[in-house]
Amino acid sequence: MNTDHPVAADGQTARLVVEDLGKRYVISSKRPPEPPRTLNLGFTRVNIPRLSLPGGSREDRELWALRHVSFAAAPGSILGVIGANGAGKSTLLKIIARVTRPTEGRVSGVGRVVSLLELGAGFNPDFSAHDNILMNAAMHGISKHEALDRMPEIIRFAELDDFLDNPVRQYSSGMYLRLAFSVAINMRPDILLADEILAVGDIAFQERCMQRVAEEAERGLTVLFVSHDMAAVSRLCHRALWIDKGEIMQAGETEGVIAEYEESVLRGRSHDKPYGQAGRRHMNVIAEIASVRLVNAAGDEIGAAPTQEEVAIRIRLKVRKPGAVLRGFADVFAKRIAVFRTAQTEDVVADRRGLLDLVVRIPARLLAETTYTVNVTVYTILGKEQKVVLDNALTFLAYGPDDDAAKLKRGVLAPHLEWVAENPRGKRRRKRQKSIV
């Protein structure tokens, strides 16, 4: 990160300035290469070179995850970054954290940057909490002596006194988060980047995190906070930045930006260019997939799924032609493994134009503590059958409580199944009695 003294648009010195930032990815074609062509000369074969004609079709295509993003953040400011999944929020934070290099533009900032972009990132699962704290401190240029001085406060805030010497692979996701946040905030950063993982953990700890962030901001900490929890953004953030399809839609006072974003979500509005999609697979003449959201039992959008509670995937459609029959499918993946497909058992007839929500509920105690990705397909039938598809429509983390029964980190599902203890001798005795009768 450039450490020149950046200047904000109002002429005041800023802690962080992002100027015309862009990130481009090249998506390779999935077509297999053509076999080489040869000419048989009788005594040998000669390869025939392929000719590339000017103006020929390209096998690769470009995808801009971010484009023309510019903003400034002053010391002590808390900037909320909001937008749909896949809008480019995490890409922005990764560039600022120097995890990803930008294609164009630049980031200028002053001071130490600490990021909370992925649960457990920077931790060695086989090390204890004590050793991981020292390792993280060294990564941020903090001496061992200084890290040991901060150790009691880190452990106290994380509430891990009884597990200090345990390997962190034995921790639940909530314990992981408490340790990661406590380490990050006690490294005394100048800029803190917090992604959706702050939505993990119990409500009491979330409130403690919010309070601590607010206190550090009063001392000059600059925070970029990405969240789907609009109530948390409204309560914590001084300003908000709404990103859609990699571009800034609006930036300014928090309440106004949130109101515009929520109105857009309700109306199902989006850019003409679909993000990350080849062509317009997410729409046809009958319907369009406007959004896909993870919601709780009350219907509020959330960024992470508590494994002990029921959650739902809400597919919002824009129906263009009434009278069409609709049927939804959701494919759920974890670690690139297809976990399950859920299909709508009864067709729905769209009786009017406008918005229509298809909601599939995921029962409590089914998901494991891992990250899930959802692909969505909706079949539309009006005379003939067609479909609209949105791949990577939703990504979310599932997390559990700290009790031992919830530490099911292996596998991609953790269903709550009934276990019983039986005496096999008693079963055989009952069978013999039945046979005698």
The confidence score (pLDDT) of residue 24 equals: 93
User: Please, where are the H alpha helices in 118-202?
Assistant: 129-139, 144-158, 173-186
Residue at token pair 């000419």: 39
Residue 346: what residue type? E
Cα gap 228→303, rounded to integer Å: 5
The confidence score (pLDDT) of residue 172 equals: 80
* Confidence grade of residue 434 (pLDDT, cut at 50, 70, 90): low
The confidence score (pLDDT) of residue 280 equals: 57
Reported as a single tens digit per residue, the pLDDT across 345-393 is: 999 999 999 999 999 999 999 999 888 999 999 999 998 899 999 988 8
Cα gap 32→286, rounded to integer Å: 33
Structure tokens at 270: 């989006």
Q: What is the DSSP letter of 9?
A: T
Q: Do β-strands 247-253 and 239-244 pair in parallel, antiparallel, or remain unpaired?
A: antiparallel
The confidence score (pLDDT) of residue 379 equals: 95
**Nearest CA to 291 among 420, 184, 388, 403?**
388
Structure tokens at 324: 């069409």
Reported as a single tens digit per residue, the pLDDT across 124-169 is: 889 999 999 999 888 878 888 989 999 999 999 988 888 888 898 8
At residue 303, what are phi and psi to the nearest 5 degrees? -100, -15
Q: What is the DSSP letter of 35?
A: P
The confidence score (pLDDT) of residue 251 equals: 95
Residue 405 pLDDT > 50: no
The confidence score (pLDDT) of residue 58 equals: 53
% of residues, the chain, pLDDT over 90: 43
The confidence score (pLDDT) of residue 386 equals: 92
Reported as a single tens digit per residue, the pLDDT across 37-75 is: 777 766 667 777 766 555 545 566 788 999 999 999 999
The confidence score (pLDDT) of residue 256 equals: 94
Of 413 and 1, the structure prediction assigns the larger pLDDT to 413
Cα gap 198→41, rounded to integer Å: 69
Residues in contact with 238: Cβ distance below 8 Å, sequence separation at least 6, in sequence order: 77, 78, 79, 254
Task: Give the domains, in start order, of the chain with CATH numbers.
Answer: 63-267 (3.40.50.300), 287-406 (2.70.50.60)
Structure tokens at 125: 């699962």
Of 300 and 224, the structure prediction assigns the larger pLDDT to 224
The confidence score (pLDDT) of residue 406 equals: 44
**Nearest CA to 212 among 240, 239, 176, 236?**
236
Structure tokens at 146: 């200084």
The confidence score (pLDDT) of residue 346 equals: 92
**Nearest CA to 191 among 103, 75, 91, 274?**
75
The confidence score (pLDDT) of residue 55 equals: 52
Reported as a single tens digit per residue, the pLDDT across 329-348 is: 999 999 888 999 999 999 99
The confidence score (pLDDT) of residue 195 equals: 83
Reported as a single tens digit per residue, the pLDDT across 262-291 is: 888 777 655 444 444 444 588 899 999 988
The confidence score (pLDDT) of residue 33 equals: 60
Q: Read off the pLDDT of each residue in 409-428 and give the average, rounded to a whole number.
A: 81
- Farthest-apart Cα atoms in the chain, separation: 97
The confidence score (pLDDT) of residue 272 equals: 41
Number of neighbours of residue 153 by Cβ within 10 angstroms: 12
